[in-house]
């Protein structure tokens, strides 16, 4: 099954726990757990030294609120992009969270994740 064929509710049931897990692992600086649900190409592209540096030096990456507001889903090709309004526990303002999901070897995996 292509993930874009799932309903919004089904996609959210998959995406929301993955997003919360990413937030928790980012806040705690746990690189291994942070990349554990990444698709192979995305995980390989993540340089552990760079990511650990980001965890150590980015106030935002270490202070993401575990509460995010779901904004919507975009379907494209074999992936869905789930968007969240994200806040920090230390920095004022709001950021856009983006989580791209698809199937790899029959499992839902993360193909991209970012905060703008």
8-57 pLDDT, tens digit each: 999 999 999 999 999 999 999 887 788 889 998 887 766 666 666 666 67
Q: Are 111 and 101 contacting, i.e. CB atoms less than 8 angstroms apart?
A: yes
> Which of these, 11, 56, 52, 19, lies nearest to 37 by C-alpha position?
19
pLDDT of residue 46: 67
* Whole-prediction pTM: 0.89
Domain assignment of residue 100, given as a range? 3-115
| CATH code assigned at 101 | 3.10.450.50
Q: Are 60 and 78 contacting, i.e. CB atoms less than 8 angstroms apart?
A: no
- What total number of domains does the chain contain? 1
3 state SS of 84: strand
Residue in the block written with tokens 């554990």: 36
């Amino acid at each position: 099954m292509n993930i874009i064929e799932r309903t919004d509710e089904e996609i959210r049931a998959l995406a929301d726990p993955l997003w919360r897990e990413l937030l928790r692992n980012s806040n705690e600086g746990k690189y291994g757990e942070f990349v554990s649900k990444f698709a192979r190409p995305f995980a390989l592209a993540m340089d552990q030294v760079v990511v650990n540096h980001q965890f150590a030096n980015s106030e935002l990456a270490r202070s993401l609120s575990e509460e995010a507001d779901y904004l919507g889903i975009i379907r494209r090709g074999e992936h869905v992009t789930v968007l969240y309004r994200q806040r920090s526990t230390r920095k004022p303002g709001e950021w856009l969270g983006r989580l791209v999901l698809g199937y790899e070897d029959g499992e839902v995996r993360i193909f991209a994740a970012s905060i703008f």
